[in-house]
Amino acid sequence: MATIQAAILGFGTVGQGIYQILNEKKDQLKESLGLDIDIKAILIRDKTKSRMAAPDVLFTDNFDEIEAIPDLQIVFEAIVGEDPAYDYLCKAIQKGCHVITANKVMFSKHGLELQELANRQGVHVGYEATTAGGVPIISTLKNILLVNQVQRIQGILNGTSNYILTQMRVQESSFQDALEEAKLLGYAEADPFNDISGQDAFRKLMILSNLAFGKQPKWDDVSIEGIGDITLEQVLGAAREGLRFRHVAEIVEKVDGSLHASVGPRLVGPEHPLYAIEGVNNAIALETDYMGTLTLVGPGAGKLPTASAMVKDYAEIIGKRTQILVTI
Ligand SMILES: NC(=O)c1ccc[n+]([C@@H]2O[C@H](COP(=O)([O-])OP(=O)(O)OC[C@H]3O[C@@H](n4cnc5c(N)ncnc54)[C@H](OP(=O)(O)O)[C@@H]3O)[C@@H](O)[C@H]2O)c1
């Protein structure tokens, strides 16, 4: 049986999850794809850190060593930030590799360019994990767009913000107490700025915009507001009126084809598709011309939900390749 040679860039929460799932599901993937996978190398930044054992895998802090692997076919990318991730993925695609990324900061900016480069090279880019972690919004949206047009997207795209707003209403916690609890539970980063300011949701919204509308609004035109100024009194007052605060990332295509996007707290009533979304979950409501509104809900982050979305991309990409070979 032929073997796919793969590399993982980044071995933190998500990178370790990819490694774990590829090992745990090795036989199942082998059977369904008719191909084995071999992780040849893992790129990290700090070689002195003690790590989960990964026998027979090269750990390197030098991307040149990854690029030099003969017959490398798949690169999973789970590092942080725009650079050098974009540069590494361009090099991997130019070498003829399929790439699969979870990196929303990089992909929100360079997604279209990477996909164009991949098209020219005849390889695929998987990015399910960049938006709403384990929720299959990218593949669902691609599927819907085969026939429907999407007119509006409204999402809860950051679980930490939704957790805080839920705790404020249900437990009557202050914003600060709910944030501290989110940190203790591992939902919020030590520096939660990107989560609570709306920046994280904004990046994911821009990835959805590229897919649904083939373009993005000008970033400077998007109003981005966080949840930091919402008080417990406001949350409880709204609840008494049957309303809930939700941190909503929204994009609408106007009749003239222009896009209007915003991220910010909204008060919603029971008729709204995001009203019932509680805790750390993410949700995306898609308004379409033929199907009406479809809402997807699920875990928007976390080691295994995110990594499983990336392994799903791998299975889809390799599955397509196998289908082509069988058809030929
Ligand atoms: N965590 C989630 O639930 C989640 C969900 C969706 C998407 N994502 C995205 O997935 C990516 C990874 O997130 P994570 O939570 O796994 O991060 P993490 O735990 O901080 O791990 C990052 C990994 O990348 C390595 N790394 C960082 N910069 C590097 C560089 N310049 N060169 C080589 N290696 C580098 C780090 O190396 P060292 O180990 O040596 O420090 C580490 O192994 C991010 O882009 C994030 O936005 C994460």
Higher pLDDT, 162 or 56: 162
Question: 325 C-alpha to center of ligand 1: Å?
Answer: 34
Given a cut of 70, whether residue 150 has pLDDT beyond it is yes
Let me know: does 154 contact 146? Beta carbons within 8 Å: no
Ligand 1 mutation pick, 20, 44, 61, 158, max ligand atoms within 8 A of CB: 44
| Nearest-atom index, ligand 1, CA of 51 | 39
Annotated catalytic residue: which of 104, 204, 303, 312? 204
Question: 10 C-alpha to center of ligand 1: Å?
Answer: 5
What are the C-alpha distances in Å from 95 to residues 39, 89, 104, 132, 197?
Answer: 17, 10, 23, 29, 38
Q: What average pLDDT does the segment 98-123 reach? A: 98
Active site residue 40: no
Q: Whose CA is nearest to atom 11 of ligand 1?
A: 78
Q: For residue 41, give the nearest of 22, 63, 24, 23 by alpha carbon.
A: 63
Let me know: does 175 contact 164? Beta carbons within 8 Å: yes
| Nearest-atom index, ligand 1, CA of 83 | 31
| Nearest-atom index, ligand 1, CA of 79 | 24
Question: 258 C-alpha to center of ligand 1: Å?
Answer: 34
Domains, the chain = 3-133+304-327 (3.40.50.720), 137-300 (3.30.360.10)
Q: What is the pLDDT of residue 326?
A: 46
Half-sphere exposure (Cβ direction) of 247: Cα atoms closer than 13 Å: 31
Secondary structure (3-state) at 103:
coil
Give the containing element (helix H, strand E) for 74: strand 72-77
Q: Kindly indicate the confidence band of residue 53, based on its pLDDT and cuts at 50, 70 and 90.
A: confident
Q: Which two tokens stand for residue 174?
A: 């202050």
Q: What average pLDDT does the segment 50-70 reach? A: 92
Read off the pLDDT of residues 229-277 as tens digits, 9 standing for 90 and up. 999 999 999 999 999 999 999 999 999 999 999 999 999 999 999 999 9
Q: What is the pLDDT of residue 52?
A: 81
Ligand 1 mutation pick, 8, 9, 14, max ligand atoms within 8 A of CB: 14
Cβ contacts of 11 within 8 Å, gap of 6 or more: 19, 42, 43, 44, 51, 52, 59, 78
Helix then strand then coil, in percent of the chain rounded to 5, is 45, 25, 35
Read off the pLDDT of residues 7-50 as tens digits, 9 standing for 90 and up. 999 999 999 999 999 999 999 999 999 999 999 999 999 999 98
Q: What is the pLDDT of residue 34?
A: 95
Question: 236 C-alpha to center of ligand 1: Å?
Answer: 37
Ligand 1 mutation pick, 79, 99, 193, max ligand atoms within 8 A of CB: 79
Question: How far apart are the C-alpha atoms of 306 and 137, rounded to whole Å?
Answer: 12
Read off the pLDDT of residues 73-101 as tens digits, 9 standing for 90 and up. 999 999 999 999 999 999 999 999 999 99
Question: 78 C-alpha to center of ligand 1: Å?
Answer: 5
Q: What is the pLDDT of residue 320?
A: 76
Let me know: does 244 contact 166? Beta carbons within 8 Å: no
Q: Whose CA is nearest to atom 7 of ligand 1?
A: 102
Q: How many CB atoms lie within 10 A of CB 13?
A: 16
Read off the pLDDT of residues 195-213 as tens digits, 9 standing for 90 and up. 999 999 999 999 999 999 9
Residue 261's φ and ψ, nearest 5 degrees, are -125, 150
Question: Based on the number of CB atoms within 10 Å of its own CB, is 242 exposed (0-12), middle (13-18) or buried (19 or more)?
Answer: exposed
In percent, the amount of the chain with pLDDT more than 70 equals: 98
pTM: 0.96
Question: 326 C-alpha to center of ligand 1: Å?
Answer: 36
| Nearest-atom index, ligand 1, CA of 10 | 24
**Which residues partner with 294 through β-bridges?**
286
Q: What is the pLDDT of residue 327?
A: 43
Provide the edge-to-edge strand list for the sheet that holds 259-268.
223-224, 259-268, 244-253, 150-156, 281-288, 292-299
| Nearest-atom index, ligand 1, CA of 133 | 6
Cβ contacts of 10 within 8 Å, gap of 6 or more: 43, 44, 77, 78, 79, 80
Tell me which residues have their CB closer than 6 angstroms to ligand 1. 10-15, 43-46, 49, 78-80, 84, 102-104, 129, 133, 301-302, 306
